[in-house]
């Protein structure tokens, strides 16, 4: 995955779609890197959007 320059501020429609697609099944840091945003910004946006990690993903981390 190509690293993007860190973006501040508004989320484009494409960024929101990517977040919705990637967040449930990938590490948050990886999603943040692919979107070129700080990890904390991705966590906050995902939370505001009501996104959650999938049960399968959490289980792969040893959490249930």
Please write the tens of the pLDDT for every residue from 10-42: 999 999 999 999 999 999 999 999 999 999 999
Range of the domain at 24: 13-60
47 belongs to a structural domain: yes
Whether 27 is in a domain gets the answer yes
Domain count, the chain: 1
pLDDT at position 13 is 96
Give 1 or 47, the one with higher predicted confidence: 47
Pairwise CA distance, residues 31 & 19, whole Å? 7
- Global pTM? 0.82
Classify residue 2: in a domain, yes or no.
Answer: no
Task: Tell me the pLDDT band of 4, cut-offs 50, 70 and 90.
Answer: low
Residue among 28, 24, 34 nearest 57 (CA): 24
Has residue 28 been placed in a domain?
yes
Confidence class for position 50, pLDDT limits 50, 70, 90: very high
């Amino acid at each position: 995955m190509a690293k993007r320059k860190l973006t501040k501020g508004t989320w484009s429609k494409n960024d929101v779609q990517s977040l919705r697609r990637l967040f449930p099944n990938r590490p948050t840091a990886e999603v943040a890197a692919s979107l070129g945003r700080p990890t904390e910004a991705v966590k906050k946006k995902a939370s505001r959007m009501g996104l959650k990690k999938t049960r399968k993903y959490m289980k792969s981390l040893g959490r249930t």
